[in-house]
Amino acid sequence: MMDHSHTYLIVGLGLLGGKYAQVLSGKGYRVTGIDKDPAAVAWALEKEYICAGADQDFEDLVTGADRVIFGLYPTAFLDWVRQYGHLLRPGTLVTDVSGVKRGVVGPVQAMMPQGVEFIASHPMAGRETSGITHSAEVDFAPANFIITPTDKNTPEAIRWCTELAGVLGFARITTLTPAEHDRMIGYVSQLCHAIAVCLMCASDNSELACYTGDSFRDLTRIARINDKMWAELFLWNKDNLIGEIDMFSAALDRLRDRLAAGDREGLEEMFRLSTKRREAFDRK
């Protein structure tokens, strides 16, 4: 399925789209690219991440692609498919990097032209930086790659997406439904970003920069955040995220109550539970 005779088009040469282009071109695949920012296209051409690219008048790049990877935010992704999806030719396989799936997968599959198949996926390898100029910093090897097929997907498309993840260097590849994906991502990713943001916004702590230790740095690393992307991801998955925030708030209230009551055993019980559960991640 991963055929070197195929042309791979990356739509959206940002952090992840740029990394896909870098890895695929470095492994001998023919890669082209589209981005609304001409500077991103110029960077990708200069670094030889792509062999051809455009920020406008890109119809030939779309019709000439055998495989297409969308590195766009959900709203931009839907808008692009609505406007240009008819250019995709039959036989083309399409995937994405979107951090939310409900509200994206169904509409995109419905808009695909006859003979074009969209198989959704999510490389969980983002960073606190953004843009193609930082894409070389991304490391796929320790990250998870999640495929979210529906009943409209063929075994061939799922196999191609799995092989793509392997070529990109992902060691852990899993499959979830779009709904399962969004429930999971609400907890392990979006809630974590929400907590980090709130830690930084709870008070003006900038004067602590000269004194803080590793724990504060570790907890707030992801608070240096891409505002436009994360606001969109939060809103697209707000029902799941609100539920996770409520659950976290309840756990924080339990800890506060035990602290207020001087309940040392209760605190130690929570600490033992957190240590036991964290060990599961250390074994991965």
What is the tens place of the pLDDT at every residue in 130-162? 899 999 999 999 999 999 999 999 999 999 999
Query: Would you say residue 151 lies in a domain?
Result: yes
Residue 252: predicted pLDDT: 97
4-33 burial string, b = 16+ CB within 10 Å, else e? Answer: eeebbbbbbbbbbbbbbbbbbbeeebbbbb
Based on the fold, state whether residues 45 and 75 are members of the same structural domain: yes
At a CB cut-off of 8 Å and minimum separation 6, what does 198 contact? none
- Could you tell me how many helices (H) and strands (E) the chain has, helices first? 12, 9
Note whether residue 61 is domain-resident: yes
Q: Which of 176, 206, 221 is the last residue of a domain?
A: 176
25 and 157 in a common domain: yes
Same domain, 106 and 240: no
**DSSP line for 167-220:** HHT-SEEEE--HHHHHHHHIIIIIIHHHHHHHHHHSS--GGGGGT--HHHHHHH
- Residue 214 has what pLDDT? 83
The pLDDT value given to residue 12: 97
145 and 200 belong to one structural domain = no
171 and 236 belong to one structural domain:
no
What is the span of the domain harbouring residue 57? 7-176
Alpha-carbon span 143 to 107, nearest angstrom: 27
Is residue 84 a part of any domain in this protein?
yes
Can you give the pLDDT at residue 51?
97
* Model pLDDT for residues 233-281, shown as the tens digit of each residue: 999 999 999 999 999 999 999 999 999 999 999 999 999 999 999 988 7
pTM here?
A: 0.91
Asked whether residue 1 is assigned to any structural domain, the reply reads: no
Give the chain's domain count.
Answer: 2
Decide which of 160, 176, 192 is a domain's last residue. 176
Residue 20 lies in a domain: yes
What's the average model confidence in pLDDT over 190-201?
Answer: 95
Q: What does DSSP say about strands 120-124 and 144-148: parallel, antiparallel, or unpaired?
A: antiparallel
Q: What gap in Å lies between CA 237 and CA 139, rounded to an integer? A: 26
Q: Is 2 a member of any domain?
A: no
21 inside domain: yes
Q: Check which CATH number belongs to the domain holding 33 and give it.
A: 3.40.50.720
Task: List the beta bridge partners of residue 34.
Answer: 11, 54
Q: How far is CA 74 from the centre of its chain?
A: 11
Q: Is the pLDDT of residue 284 over 70?
A: no
In a domain, 159, yes or no: yes
If asked whether residues 171 and 241 sit together in one domain, one would say: no
Residue that terminates a domain, selected from 129, 155, 176 = 176
- pLDDT of 129 above 80: no
Backbone angles phi, psi at 183, to 5 degrees: -65, -45
Q: Are residues 89 and 111 in the same domain?
A: yes
Q: Do 172 and 190 fall into the same domain?
A: no
Enumerate long-range contacts of 39-45, CB under 8 Å, 24 or more apart.
Answer: 40/13, 40/14, 40/131, 40/132, 41/13, 43/13, 43/18, 43/132, 43/133, 44/13, 44/18, 44/132
